[in-house]
Amino acid sequence: MTTQRENDTLTRVGPGTPMGELMRCYWIPAAMSSELTADGDPVRIQILCEKLIAFRDTSGRVGIMDHRCPHRCASLFFGRNEEGGIRCVYHGWKFDAEGNCVDMANVPPHQDFKHKVHAKAYKTFERNGVVWVYMGDQSKVPAPPDIPATLRSAEDMKIWAAHRSCNWLQGLEGELDTSHLGILHLGHAHKGSDFLQETHKYATANRTPDYEIADTPVGSMYGAYRPAEENSLYWRVGHFAMPFWAMMPILPIERCVLARAYVPIDDDNTMIMIWGDKRGNPRTTDSNGGDFIVGYTHNPQFHPNTTDWQGRFRLKPQLSNDFFIDRAVQRTQSPSGIDGVHIQDEAVTTSMGPIADRTLEHLGPSDLMIARVRRRLLAAANGLANDGVAPPGADRPDAYANIRSGNYVAEGEPADWERVYWDKVAWARSILDPVATAAE
């Protein structure tokens, strides 16, 4: 059982907290590149309980810094983005993308001390349509992680984000809980569906998989398995990667290039950043190619972004409107009565409260991966806090390169699952990345 002290360690992410300091050892997806235009409006961004602003300067560089001007703490959100920096409207002090004070409009030239003033700013970089930020020690910035989905061009990937009104760990753990697929999402799906026959027929035919768990250099992975054809097993292998990444086995392994980051906004809110290969999106029509499987659509509806701290990427279905649950549909066509896989997940994870009370849980065999990941996170956070030990993957960006989720059928005993899995990964990479694989 998870104790209250452990739950607090896992869920609190502000400056100085064990988990907050752990997450500050890694590069964090912060914004879509499209949110920021050269000399355009600054954007309020909150990450790890810190209130920040993001802006793109005249040359295209992105700055992410504390929203408070270091002069008198007025918010730089109201600042003017101009000529290579953001100018505070209160007294005209101006800061470049690195936080350097470059002008003091209300200070006589002979009393100017701008070289002594620096706004709290963080290193950033952009990759394929996403802005990343590093919020740890700015003198020891590691290379970004080689997560395969994030390395693909924006033309190949569908990248989107969604706000979720609960703690980051609730959403992450939902991604690691593979057994709910055949119940919450596909409990009433038609067994003749082309989609099920291609992708999930074993998961819906047998909703009680067995599990194997293993640690990786950057986190942990699970293999959920069920009987398939004679002398073979159907495997669904998924990953957790430090500090908040999930790779889910929603497609055959040769087409499964995806990643989801559960970025804490604060202790009670999360921004989910999602990468999915456009060429690998699942087909969710019924057997005659007509309507979507009831409840299994992938078309979330959003409110327009606003400028407040919690105003980005908010979905229209939410807890206050019960996620538009349709009880009639629930009784006959869909276990949840809620339309959309993402919305179904949001409904159950936010229903736990802003921060779930894990002391009340009764974990079962299907929760082995969740228990393992909690132990992995606690060990890493406490190791960093107590002994200064760098957490897994923080200084090994290349260690993320080989992890891949997916499902497949394979012969062999469960005890041999890791060798079979890595053989499948090599095979999948040779199909998806033939040039890169050949170069290696």
Do both 186 and 254 map to the same domain? yes
Report the range of poorest mean pLDDT among 107-116, 143-152, 205-214.
205-214
Are 47 and 30 contacting, i.e. CB atoms less than 8 angstroms apart?
yes
Q: pLDDT at residue 437 above 60?
A: no
What integer pLDDT is reported at residue 241 of this predicted model?
98
Q: What is the C-alpha to C-alpha distance for residues 54 and 28, in angstroms, rounded to an integer? A: 14
Do both 294 and 417 map to the same domain? yes
Q: Which residue has the higher pLDDT, 187 or 112?
A: 112
Do both 108 and 234 map to the same domain? no
Whether 230 is covered by a domain: the verdict is yes
Do both 429 and 357 map to the same domain? yes
What tens digit of pLDDT does each residue of 161-175 get? 999 999 999 999 999
Do both 215 and 124 map to the same domain? no
Q: pLDDT at residue 191 above 60?
A: no
Do both 197 and 94 map to the same domain? no
Do both 130 and 176 map to the same domain? no
At 163, is the secondary structure helix, strand, or coil? strand
- The CATH code of the domain that includes 116 is 2.102.10.10
Average pLDDT over residues 340-352: 94
What tens digit of pLDDT does each residue of 201-252 get? 777 777 788 999 999 999 999 999 999 888 899 999 999 999 999 999 988 8
Whether 420 is covered by a domain: the verdict is yes
Whether 398 is covered by a domain: the verdict is yes
Domain that holds residue 284: 149-439
Whether 12 is covered by a domain: the verdict is no
435: left (phi over 0), alpha (psi -120 to 50) or beta: alpha
Do both 174 and 103 map to the same domain? no
What percentage of the chain's residues is helix, strand, coil (to nearest 5)?
A: 30, 25, 40
Q: pLDDT at residue 199 above 80?
A: no
Q: Which residues pair with 275 in a beta bridge?
A: 159, 259
What tens digit of pLDDT does each residue of 262-311 get? 999 999 999 999 999 887 655 544 444 444 566 667 778 999 999 999 99
Do both 157 and 225 map to the same domain? yes
Whether 46 is covered by a domain: the verdict is yes
* Number of domains comprising the chain: 2
What integer pLDDT is reported at residue 280 of this predicted model?
61
The residue from 90, 114, 141 where one domain ends is 141
Q: What is the C-alpha to C-alpha distance for residues 367 and 198, in angstroms, rounded to an integer? A: 26
Do both 172 and 226 map to the same domain? yes
Q: What is the pTM of this model?
A: 0.93
What tens digit of pLDDT does each residue of 2-24 get? 999 999 999 999 999 999 999 99
Q: What is the C-alpha to C-alpha distance for residues 293 and 339, in angstroms, rounded to an integer? A: 10
Whether 1 is covered by a domain: the verdict is no
Whether 275 is covered by a domain: the verdict is yes
Q: What is the C-alpha to C-alpha distance for residues 25 and 174, in angstroms, rounded to an integer? A: 24
Do both 227 and 254 map to the same domain? yes
The residue from 108, 141, 174 where one domain ends is 141
Do both 269 and 304 map to the same domain? yes
What tens digit of pLDDT does each residue of 370-380 get? 999 999 999 99
The residue from 97, 123, 141 where one domain ends is 141
